[in-house]
A and B are shown apart, each in its own frame.
Chain A
Amino acid sequence: MRRSSKKSSSSAPAGQTKAVSKEVERIDQLFYTYADSSSGMVDPEGIETLCSHLEVPHTDVRILMLAWKMGCEKQGYITLDEWRSGLKTLRADSISKLKKAFPEMVQEVTRPSNFQDFYPFAFRYCLTEDKKKCIEIPVACELLNLVLSLQFRPQVDKLMDYLKYQNDYKVINMDQWMGFLRFCNEIIFPSLDNYDPDQAWPLILDNFVEWLRANKN
């Protein structure tokens, strides 16, 4: 994002420009309170501090949402640009403002159109190495719990049970991950009446449904 364009905009009234630049300054300042001096980024330690100031546990889904808002690429690290863009859209330049912005942020993220973007982001965010395309089952379970349990508690519970029980798959890939969301959105639960295994569902979900049906009694 180019700050200069804002400043040199002739149509902006002088007063507003000043207010904007003040906001930017405060945002930047806030950044540097958490950033590690040598790397110039907020690192995991810094994030932990941030979280304690926000009074939100760092495993809370809201931190994940914040990461999405910021467009964070690497889990555990925030760059200046990411920080800036996130806080700007949240209109927060202080910890208290940031905290206040959270409820609205949660609402915004849970809107279906945004959630469709947030959900795969959560997966990518968890990929630890560059080349990796899958996350391990335990991590996947935790992530599911974090991301989907508010909306789809019963499905998530069952899915987590199944993932731990089965041993066909040791990791989950993006395709399967997206499949979970689709499953929660489209399939009637717990009856599973409209699930058709001849459709292009990932195999892991076919097996999940079979397991559910077998264990109904």
Chain B
Amino acid sequence: MSSKKRPARIEPFRHRVETDPKFFDKSWKKLHDAIREIYNHNASGLSFEELYRTAYNMVLYKHGPKLYENLIETMTGHLQEMRRSIEAAQGGLFLEELQRKWDDHNKALQMIRDVLMYMDRTYIPTHKKTAVFDLGLELWRDNIVRSSNIRVRLLNTLLDLIHSERMGEVINRSLMRSTTKMLMDLGSSVYQDDFERPFLKVSASFYSGESQQFIESCACGEYLKKAQKRLDEEAERVAQYLDAKTDEKITAVVVKEALTNHMQRLFLMEDSGLVNMLVEDKYEDLTMMYNLFQRVPDGHSTIKSVMTSHVKESGRSLVTDPERLKDPVDFVQRLLNEKDKYDNIISISFGNDKSFQNALTSSFEYFINLNNRSPEFISLYVDDKLRKGMKDANEEDVETVLDKVMMLFRYLQEKDLFEKYYKQHLAKRLLSGRAASDDSERSMLVKLKTECGYQFTSKLEGMFTDLKTSQDTTQGFYGASSSDAGDAPLISVQILTTGSWPTQPCSTCNLPPEILSVSEKFRAYYLGTHNGRRLTWQTNMGTADIKVTFGNGSKHELNVSTYQMCVLMLFNSADCLTYNEIEQATAIPPVDLKRCLQSLALVKGKNVLRKEPMSRDISPNDNFYVNDKFTSKLFKVKIGTVAVQKESEPEKMETRHRVEEDRKPQIEAAIVRIMKARRVLDHNSIVTEVTKQLQPRFLPNPVVIKKRIESLIEREFLERDKTDRKMYRYLA
């Protein structure tokens, strides 16, 4: 017997599956009842483990879809019930009820989610269904928040509360917060669509109305305060109970309605607008305005342009006012004050904003150059500060003032004109011994050198050197000729290098013999050590100290000019002299002689001479006598060396003429330089380049530039290009 043996097979042990037709219904009932209990706050009696297992099995046995559907149905049912309860709430309790139900729903949802966790993780993702929790939120959204009644009522309630708060009432902020949080939890689009958008719209019309009201009734500063207050309030509102992203949006709304829409009207408000604030230095209001209008499009640029035109206008009226032009020092002081004022405003209220600084600079540049005497006046101001006998002789003060003056100097277009005047004034200061402090003078020079370069100040420095050298030379002279000093008058000589000092036409003058002899001795001494030089006495610039004994016995020492000395010495040999005689004897030019005689005879307290007749004018046959009745409390009497004054009209024309003449070669040099480099160039480009090159010194007139070009063509430095007559060509 051979029977085939079958190999043993091991088969999986199969449980006997209970195909219980009632399996689903039984399981579902368990869950359905549990959910109901959960919603009824009765969850404590439930077994989480059992419910979880039930749901687990349902999903395992492929009942996922049905479970899901039923879940939706059940929850919807509960939500409908909640809705009715919320709708029934009266007045202020509406939000509270809503909140309460929301909390309940959230708690329930969490538990349900936990129970159905297995479905959440398996069935839902594979079938691309919404997760349980999110489903719950969606259902809440659709059944509660967006149900027709509640939707409208919710929005209106929120907006009404906000409106009340804006009008000053106190509202329940935490309730607001939880409500808006609920909306955010439902999705930012829900928050935006159902609340934020309408909120912004309503706010816009609220602020539009309020601003209109305010602007009719408030001054600018007051209005700005209110606007700031509202902005602060809205920011706080957002922080307290709105979503952070709303901050930017509501701020934009307030800014637009309260500020942007009324910008022009605010700025130009009479008696309180921007111009008024500037004029009266209202720093607080200006700071507020600057800060508020930062957010307004073109806000700052509009402030800047209003400020600029105001500064230009007030500057212009300042420099063109004929009253102001009478006192140059006061004129410049006012300019400095104006600059200080605006510097303060910019630093205190505008946060030192650079673009405002620049706007101020260009305004000053504009109006300072409207008056072509500005260079002269600024030099006179500096002269005033650097002279002896100044009230605020404190060196630090002077330094500060000079720095400020330098700022004004930078604004000048005609710096070369300033240079001419500064030289003149400096010369007078140095020669009359009127410079208060050598240090201050040098400090000013350094500042000018830093600004304009070495060329500007080299001649000025030469003036200082000359004086120092002259001191040494005079000492040397007396050291060498100590023997025959005798009773010759003592001289102190200042030797000025021509070219460093402003040119003065030297006129005739017959020196008294005593003076003549000692000055010739000096000349001989000097030329002995400096061969090949030429010395010319500048009789219109010297001073003399004379001891006088008057007929009434009073003795005085008079400090006079050289001319005055020549006149007075004549009276050592004559009691009475006519004008003609004096003119003949001294050979001083009539204009100067008349002025000199006037200062000796017609100035009260200084009338060392007597004139007959006593009239102001001097005619050729007027008689002059020594005034024997002269008295003065002081032993040393100074007779009028006049301080520099602003020039008379003819002098001014003369100086300007000289400056224009000096400019011609500078312009030509610039043209030649440019053409040498560029070879061929058109007219406009030449003008632009020349202007650029000469900008540190002066602003050349295009007509003058053209004239110089034509002169250069005539002298064959340049020619017109033969093919293109718009161009010029450099001729080597």
Chain A interface (Cβ < 8 Å from any Cβ of B): 133, 173, 175-176, 182, 198-200, 202-203, 206
Note all chain B residues with C-beta closer than 8 A to A176: 710
- Point out the residues of chain A lying under 8 angstroms from B153, CB to CB: none
- Name the CB-closest residue of B to A199: B726
Contacts of A198 in B (CB 8 A): 683-684, 687
**Pairs across A and B, CB under 8 Å, 20 listed:** A133-B714, A175-B713, A175-B714, A175-B720, A182-B725, A198-B684, A198-B687, A199-B683, A199-B726, A200-B683, A200-B720, A200-B725, A200-B726, A200-B727, A200-B728, A203-B703, A203-B706, A203-B707, A206-B703, A206-B706
- Residue B682 lies at the interface, judged by CB distance under 8 Å to chain A: yes
* In contact, A203 and B710 (Cβ under 8 angstroms): yes
Which B residues are CB-close (under 8 A) to A200? 682-683, 709, 720, 725-728
Q: Which residues of B contact A (CB under 8 A)?
A: 682-684, 687, 703, 706-707, 709-710, 713-714, 720, 725-728
CB nearest neighbor in B for A133: B714
Q: How far is the CA of A200 from the CA of B684 in the complex (A)?
A: 8
- CA–CA, A199 to B725, complex, Å? 9
- For B682, list chain A residues within 8 Å (CB): 200
Residues from chain A with a CB closer than 8 A to the CB of B713 are 175
B688 to chain A, nearest CB (A): 11
Q: How far is the CA of A112 from the CA of B710 in the complex (A)?
A: 26
Q: Would you call A175 and B683 a contact (CB within 8 A)?
A: no
C-alpha gap A203/B714 in the complex (Å): 13
Do the beta carbons of A175 and B684 come within 8 Å of each other?
no
User: Given the complex, which residues of B lie within 8 Å of A203, measured CB to CB?
Assistant: 703, 706-707, 710
Which residues of B are found within 8 Å of A173, using beta-carbon distances?
Answer: 714
CA distance A173 to B725 in the complex (A): 17
B475 to chain A, nearest CB (A): 56
**A174 and chain B: residue at smallest CB distance:** B714
CB pair A175–B710 under 8 Å, yes or no, is yes
Q: Which residues of A contact B727 (CB under 8 A)?
A: 200
Q: How far is the CA of A202 from the CA of B714 in the complex (A)?
A: 12
- Whether the pair A202, B710 counts as a contact (CB closer than 8 A) is yes
Bound Cα distance from A1 to B37, whole angstroms: 136
Q: How far is the CB of A202 from chain B (nearest CB, A)?
A: 6
Assembled-state Cα–Cα distance A133/B720 (Å) = 17
A202 and chain B: residue at smallest CB distance:
B710
Q: What CA separation (Å) do A176 and B710 show in the bound complex?
A: 9
Q: For residue B681, which residue of chain A has the nearest CB?
A: A200
* A183→B390 CA distance, assembly (Å): 63
Residues of A within 8 A of B683 (CB): 198-200
Name the residue in A133, A198, A200, A206 with the highest tally of chain B Cβ atoms < 10 Å from its Cβ.
A200
The residue of chain B having its C-beta at the shortest distance from the C-beta of A173 within the complex is B714
Q: How far is the CA of A198 from the CA of B706 in the complex (A)?
A: 10
Tell me which residues across on chain A come within 8 A of B714, comparing CB atoms: 133, 173, 175
Kindly list chain A residues whose C-beta atoms are within 8 Å of the C-beta of B707. Answer: 203
Chain A residues with CB under 8 A of B720: 175, 200
* 5 tightest Cβ-Cβ pairs between the two chains A and B: A200-B683, A203-B706, A198-B684, A199-B726, A175-B713
Chain A residues in 8 Å Cβ range of B709: 200
Note all chain B residues with C-beta closer than 8 A to A206.
Answer: 703, 706
Name which residue of chain B comes closest to A198, CB basis. B684
CA distance A182 to B725 in the complex (A): 9
Residue of A nearest to B721 (CB): A200
Residues of B within 8 A of A199 (CB): 683, 726
Q: Which residue of A lies closest to B720 (CB)?
A: A200
Distance to closest chain A CB from B728 (angstroms): 6
A192–B29 alpha-carbon span in the complex (Å) = 105
Closest B residue to A186 by beta carbon equals B725
CB of B687 to closest CB in A, whole Å: 8
Q: Whole-angstrom distance between the alpha carbons of A175 and B710 in the complex?
A: 8
Closest to B706 in A: A203
Q: How far is the CB of A217 from chain B (nearest CB, A)?
A: 24
Q: Which residue of A lies closest to B709 (CB)?
A: A200
